Amino acid sequence: EAEIFTYDPGFMATASCHSAITYIDGEAGVLLYRGYPIEQLATKASFLEVAYLLLYGELPDERQLLAFEEAMARHSMINENLKGFLGGFHYDAHPMAILVGVVGSLSAFYHDSLDINDPQHREASALRLIAQVPTIAAAAYKHNVGEPIVYPRNALRYCANFLHMMFATPCADYKPGLIAEKALNLLFILHADHEQNASTSTVRLAGSSGANPFACIAAGIASLWGPAHGGANEAVLDMLEQIGDVSNVPKYLDKAKDKDDSFRLMGFGHRVYKHYDPRAKIIREVCHQVLEELADSNNPLFELALRLEEIALSDEYFVERKLYPNVDFYSGIIYRALGIPRNMFTVMFAIARTVGWVSHWMEMMADPNNRIGRPRQIYCGPTHRDYLPISQR
Ligand code: SDX
């Protein structure tokens, strides 16, 4: 234990908070959820087992998991009045715009009865959010495609339920394939939490003022949408289609290296990982399996992504700066193979990260020493000066 958890004082001096949820070692490419290596959880656990682990700190036993799954089913329907709100969006509103708006509006349904100082109220809010975000996400997709909302099915497992809400219609039921459910389960686990990233820090900062959890998670969704953060998975597909063919890779790598060019290699680089993102390694493997099983093994975008990685990692610009593929580099290729449209990729990230966001919110709110966050700045504006009447300016 000592060799993993010996923090250097410098690190502790800059740490924004103490947390027992997720541990990252960016140099070694280590990611632990409550001490469990992501590689083990990704291939052995269900997403709800991992959600329970992140929320409560321990893997559930059978009775606890059953109760958690039942709570998810019980809370998965959204208030029927939200259909009116959803219907008010333009048909082609980006699903992330719908998600941030509708999740924030959940405050209106629970705000008056919610006492965030009551641990049971906090837990009920957390369960409602984990259960309802997939329902809202699928409803956003249905709004985009002009189909009626599909209600959750309590008998289906979490990932299968989401796929059913996405692709079933009143005219034709939809039975999610096992490979799709397994792939989604793994992707949700890999995206569930990642320590104090931009969106999780946003949730913590919003929550530190005592704001209600629905508004805090809406703030996290807004932050995740940025292309430098969760929006990168959608941007990677745009980039691969823009590159088009492996013969164009050198030209685009030159653009990525050019300081005067705004083009960046999307899905590459990370604030913390200065080695291969362990999640990207797992997703690349799953890509092979999913495309194989979906008889799409010669997927041109995947082939291009593999060659792009190979060429970039032999280029000193990327090697010197320790820029490796991150969690967003390959995930969109799997989502696309599962029939998820590109504008839903970051929504998928938000569904999974809701578990991490509410876990950090719960951890922070349970801390009796929790105080309002108040980042400071280095002031670089004008020194003191006196007001001048406009005739003298
Ligand atoms: C996520 O924080 C988290 O944990 C986030 C996340 C999570 O799970 O929550 O892991 C999810 O957000 C992953 C990141 C997804 N974003 C992208 O893939 C967008 C492309 N990546 C870059 O925008 C960038 O790498 C960032 C935003 C991820 C990190 O930016 P930094 O911290 O500024 O990068 P850095 O300090 O490592 O940069 C060092 C050098 C700089 O050049 P120099 O000034 O040294 O000449 O590398 C350059 C950067 O300009 N660089 C890139 C690059 N990323 C960094 N150059 C080209 N392409 C890139 N992608």
Question: CA angle, corner 274, sides to 273 and 280, nearest 5?
Answer: 50
268 alpha carbon to ligand 1 midpoint, in Å? 7
* Pairwise CA distance, residues 347 & 140, whole Å: 9
Q: Which atom of ligand 1 is nearest to the CA of 193?
A: 8
Phi and psi torsions of 59, nearest 5°:
-65, 140
333 alpha carbon to ligand 1 midpoint, in Å? 20
Nearest CA to ligand 1 atom 24: 269
Query: With contact defined as beta carbons under 8 Å apart, do 283 and 330 qualify?
Result: yes
Nearest CA to ligand 1 atom 1: 229
Place of tokens 């409602």: 128
283, 320, 326: residue to mutate for ligand 1 pocket, most atoms within 8 A of CB: 326
Q: Which atom of ligand 1 is nearest to the CA of 329?
A: 18
24 alpha carbon to ligand 1 midpoint, in Å? 16
* Pairwise CA distance, residues 145 & 166, whole Å: 10
235 alpha carbon to ligand 1 midpoint, in Å? 13
Q: Quote the pLDDT of residue 109.
A: 87
Nearest CA to ligand 1 atom 46: 259
233 alpha carbon to ligand 1 midpoint, in Å? 13
For 255-301, how does the pLDDT look when each residue is reduced to its tens digit (9 = 90+)? 999 999 999 999 999 999 999 999 999 999 999 999 988 877 778 99
Q: What pTM value is reported for the model? A: 0.94
31 alpha carbon to ligand 1 midpoint, in Å? 18
List pocket residues of ligand 1, CB cut-off 6 Å.
194, 197, 228-230, 232, 256, 264-272, 321, 323, 326-328
**Closest alpha carbon to 193 in 326, 347, 356, 42:** 356
Q: Quote the pLDDT of residue 113.
A: 83
Query: With contact defined as beta carbons under 8 Å apart, do 346 and 297 qualify?
Result: no
Query: With contact defined as beta carbons under 8 Å apart, do 101 and 85 qualify?
Result: yes
Structure tokens at 342: 């590109």
Query: With contact defined as beta carbons under 8 Å apart, do 48 and 65 qualify?
Result: yes
Q: Quote the pLDDT of residue 224.
A: 98
Q: Quote the pLDDT of residue 7.
A: 46
The number of C-alpha atoms within 13 Å of 296 and in the hemisphere containing its C-beta is 16
Q: Quote the pLDDT of residue 103.
A: 98
How far is CA 178 from each of CA 57, 124, 150, 162, 163, rounded to the nearest angstrom? 29, 30, 20, 13, 11
Helices (H), the chain: 2-5, 9-14, 38-44, 47-56, 62-75, 82-87, 95-110, 119-145, 158-167, 178-191, 198-207, 213-224, 232-243, 249-257, 278-293, 300-312, 316-320, 328-337, 345-365
Phi and psi torsions of 41, nearest 5°:
-65, -40
270 is catalytic: yes
* Pairwise CA distance, residues 248 & 344, whole Å: 27
Q: Which atom of ligand 1 is nearest to the CA of 200?
A: 9
275 alpha carbon to ligand 1 midpoint, in Å? 12
Q: Which atom of ligand 1 is nearest to the CA of 256?
A: 57
How far is CA 298 from each of CA 57, 293, 294, rounded to the nearest angstrom? 41, 12, 11
* Pairwise CA distance, residues 189 & 375, whole Å: 31
Give the three-state DSSP class for 268.
Answer: strand
Q: Give me the sheet containing 22-25, strands edge to edge.
A: 22-25, 30-33, 36-37
Structure tokens at 263: 């083009």
Q: Quote the pLDDT of residue 296.
A: 79
How would you label 355-367 residue by residue, b for 16+ Cβ within 10 Å and e otherwise?
bbbbbbbbbbbee
Q: Quote the pLDDT of residue 297.
A: 75
Query: With contact defined as beta carbons under 8 Å apart, do 240 and 305 qualify?
Result: yes
18 is catalytic: no
31, 270, 279: residue to mutate for ligand 1 pocket, most atoms within 8 A of CB: 270
Q: Quote the pLDDT of residue 368.
A: 93
Please tell me which residue in 193, 270, 277, 360 is annotated as part of the active site. 270
Angle between helices 95-110 and 119-145 (to 10 degrees): 140
Show the low-confidence residues of the chain (pLDDT under 50).
Answer: 1-7
Q: Which atom of ligand 1 is nearest to the CA of 230?
A: 12
Please tell me which residue in 75, 143, 328, 360 is annotated as part of the active site. 328
* Pairwise CA distance, residues 217 & 6, whole Å: 32
Q: Quote the pLDDT of residue 9.
A: 52
Return the H-helix or E-strand segment holding 22: strand 22-25
